[in-house]
C-alpha cells in the first residue's frame, strides 16, 4: 500500500520542474565564486578565476607611514586628511584630538576597486577648525576589538590661524 497517492499528475510535474529551476538558479546564476582577493597586500586566487590577476594596487595593509605633516588652516574652515585603509582586514583608523580645537564632521571610505572583494582604498576624515592655535591629530590603525599595539600611528600637527 503506497504512502501517498498521486491525485494530479500536473501538480507532480510542476513540482519537479520547479525543483529543477531552483537547482539551476542556485548553481548557474548565483554569481562568481571564482575571483581574485586582496590579502595582506597580495592578490590571492579564490577558486578558479576566469580573469587574469589584477595589475592594480592591492593595499592589504596601509602603505608605510610618511613623515608627519603639518596642516595649516584657518578658524572656521574645513580640511581633510586621507589615509590608505582596508576595512576588510579588520583594521580601522581611530583618531585622538583636542575637541576644543577640532570637530570631526564625517569620515568616508572609498574602495580603490569596488568590484574586487577585499581591495583596499582610502578613508577620508573631514574636520572643522574651531579656534586659533596649534594642536595635533593622532591616527592609530588598529583592530579595535583586540588589545594590541596599533599597526601604524601617524601624528599630524595642525596650525589654525
- Local confidence pLDDT in tens for the 161 residues of the chain: 555 566 677 777 778 887 777 776 655 554 445 666 666 666 676 667 777 777 666 655 445 445 568 999 999 999 999 999 988 888 899 999 999 999 999 999 998 888 887 778 899 999 999 999 999 999 999 988 888 888 889 999 999 99
Residue 13: DSSP 8-state: H
Q: What is the pTM of this model?
A: 0.58
Note the pLDDT of residue 150: 87
Reduced to 3 states, what is the DSSP secondary structure of residue 67?
coil
Select the CATH number that applies to the domain covering 70-160 from these four: 3.90.380.10, 2.60.120.200, 3.90.1150.10, 2.60.40.2020.
2.60.40.2020
Contacts of 14 (CB under 8 A, 6+ apart): none
The answer to whether the CB of 153 falls within 8 A of the CB of 141 is yes
Instruction: Report the alpha-carbon distance of residue 100 to residue 19 in Å, rounded.
Output: 64
Amino acid at each position: 500500500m503506497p504512502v501517498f497517492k498521486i491525485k494530479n499528475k500536473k501538480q507532480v510535474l510542476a513540482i519537479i520542474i520547479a525543483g529543477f529551476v531552483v537547482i539551476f538558479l542556485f548553481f548557474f546564476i548565483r554569481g562568481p565564486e571564482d575571483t581574485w582577493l586582496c590579502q595582506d597586500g597580495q592578490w590571492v586566487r579564490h577558486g578558479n578565476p576566469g580573469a587574469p590577476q589584477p595589475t592594480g594596487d592591492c593595499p592589504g595593509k596601509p602603505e608605510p607611514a610618511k613623515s608627519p605633516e603639518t596642516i595649516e588652516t584657518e578658524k572656521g574652515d574645513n580640511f581633510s586628511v586621507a589615509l590608505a585603509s582596508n576595512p576588510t582586514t579588520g583594521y580601522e583608523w581611530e583618531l585622538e584630538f583636542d575637541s576644543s580645537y577640532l570637530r570631526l564632521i564625517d569620515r568616508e571610505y572609498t574602495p580603490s576597486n569596488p568590484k574586487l572583494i577585499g581591495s583596499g582604498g582610502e578613508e577620508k576624515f573631514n574636520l572643522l577648525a574651531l579656534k586659533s592655535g596649534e594642536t595635533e591629530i593622532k591616527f592609530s590603525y588598529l583592530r579595535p576589538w583586540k588589545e594590541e599595539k596599533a599597526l601604524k600611528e601617524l601624528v599630524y600637527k595642525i596650525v589654525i590661524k
